[in-house]
Amino acid sequence: MADFMRYLPLGQRDRGPELDVSSDWRDEVADVIDRTAVALDAAELDDAAGTRIADRFLSGTGTRRHPVPEHADPPAAAASASPDAPASPSDRLRAYAVAIRLGRPAPVSLLARAVAAYLLLAREVDAAPTLPDRTSGAVALYLAAKAPAPIRAVISGHALRALDADWDFGRGPVLEQQAIPMLEFLLGRGIEAPVAHHPR
């Protein structure tokens, strides 16, 4: 298990038995894919545009390279070749989410790629992305550990705290931001860095 996984669940609340701490993130990856399907449905795109976006999402996540069981629903790229293929791009994404849930354990790196692709898609279709605290916290922690030098220069020696989610990690003066903008910043896309916490 990677060192950063020892800090989950995140936050300073009463932790109790940490039986849910795991290196398997299949359910969370599948949930992100399901959320992507919902955003795609809401965008009401034609099938051609929806298919392009869905394929770009799966290419960006690397989920096509993640092993899935042979009996599971086919991945999006192959679904159109199946006579029983789901009808729409969003249904194809949902079928692949099922395949992820039934497949091999998924690392947090796959979850991070899925979240990154979901946030890009949400921006493209003008949707407001949402993520569970556990997902956004795990991905933020992973990204902070892997951040390039310019981002590390901002967050080094600081704790990071989400203003709208139940997680924080790190040591030192606290930098705060809402969870989604924090992820965008750690991904190198956000224009607003987390700001210092000023106790009242």
pLDDT for position 70:
40
Please report the pLDDT score of residue 46 as a whole number.
87
- Tell me, what's the pLDDT at 174? 96
Q: Residues 134, 11: contact at Cβ < 8 Å?
A: no
Q: What is the pTM of this model?
A: 0.80
Are 49 and 125 contacting, i.e. CB atoms less than 8 angstroms apart?
no
For 108, phi then psi, to 5°, come to -65, -25
Give the separation between CA 103 and CA 136, rounded to whole angstroms: 22
State the number of CA atoms in the 13 A half-sphere of 155 facing the CB. Answer: 29
Residues 76 and 92: their CA atoms lie apart, in Å, by 5
Q: What residues contact 127, with CB distance under 8 A and at least 6 apart?
A: 39, 42, 43, 121
Tens-digit pLDDT profile for the chain (200 aa)?
344 444 454 444 444 434 345 689 999 999 999 999 999 999 988 888 999 999 888 887 765 454 444 433 444 434 443 445 556 899 989 998 999 999 999 999 999 999 999 999 999 999 999 999 999 999 999 999 999 999 999 999 999 999 999 999 999 999 999 999 999 999 998 878 888 876 65
- The confidence score (pLDDT) of residue 17 equals 39
pLDDT at site 61: 78
Residue 198 is predicted with a pLDDT of 64
Query: Which two tokens mark 168?
Result: 């924080």
